[in-house]
C-alpha cells in the first residue's frame, strides 16, 4: 500500500472512529481533549480505537485497523511513553484513564 493510500485509509478509519466515539459517548471528554494533542493520524486512530474497544492485543489492533506492524509498534510505544495507554501482564493494551486527569 502506498504512503498516500495508507494515509487516506487511516484518515477514513479515524473519521469513522471519531464519529462512533462521540455518538456513543464511550470516550470521556478528557480523552477527546488528549486526542487533540496527538500529532499523527495513527496515534489518534489507535487511541480512539482503544477508547471504544479495550482491551486489545497487538494483533487485534493491527488486524482491525489494518495497520503495518512497524507503524503500530511505533504508535503504541509513543502512546505508552506519553502515559496514555498501559500494557497489562497479559499483553493487553488499555487506555490509562488516570493519565487523562493530569
Which stretches of the chain drop beneath a pLDDT of 50?
A: none
Query: How confident is the model at residue 31, as a pLDDT?
Result: 76
CB 81 within 8 A of CB 89: no
CB 31 within 8 A of CB 51: yes
* CATH of 3-100 among 3.40.50.980, 1.10.10.10, 1.10.10.410, 1.10.286.10: 1.10.10.10
Apex 66 CA angle, 93 and 68, nearest 5: 80
Rounded CA separation 60/45 (Å): 14
Is the pTM above the cut of 0.85?
no
Query: How confident is the model at residue 79, as a pLDDT?
Result: 96
Rounded CA separation 2/38 (Å): 23
Could you state, in order of their start, the residue ranges of all structural domains in the chain?
Answer: 3-100
Query: What are the φ/ψ torsions at residue 85 (nearest 5 degrees)?
Result: -130, 160
Tens digit of pLDDT for each residue in 9-38? 888 887 777 766 665 555 567 777 888 889
Query: How confident is the model at residue 26, as a pLDDT?
Result: 52
Amino acid at each position: 500500500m502506498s504512503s498516500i493510500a495508507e494515509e487516506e485509509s487511516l484518515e477514513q478509519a479515524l473519521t469513522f472512529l471519531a464519529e462512533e466515539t462521540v455518538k456513543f459517548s464511550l470516550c470521556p471528554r478528557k480523552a477527546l481533549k488528549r486526542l487533540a494533542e496527538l500529532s499523527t493520524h495513527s496515534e489518534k486512530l489507535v487511541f480512539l480505537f482503544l477508547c471504544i474497544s479495550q482491551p486489545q492485543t497487538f494483533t487485534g489492533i493491527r488486524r482491525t485497523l489494518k495497520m503495518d506492524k512497524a507503524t503500530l509498534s511505533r504508535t503504541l510505544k509513543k502512546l505508552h511513553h506519553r502515559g496514555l495507554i498501559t500494557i497489562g501482564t497479559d499483553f493487553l493494551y488499555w487506555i490509562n484513564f488516570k493519565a487523562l486527569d493530569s
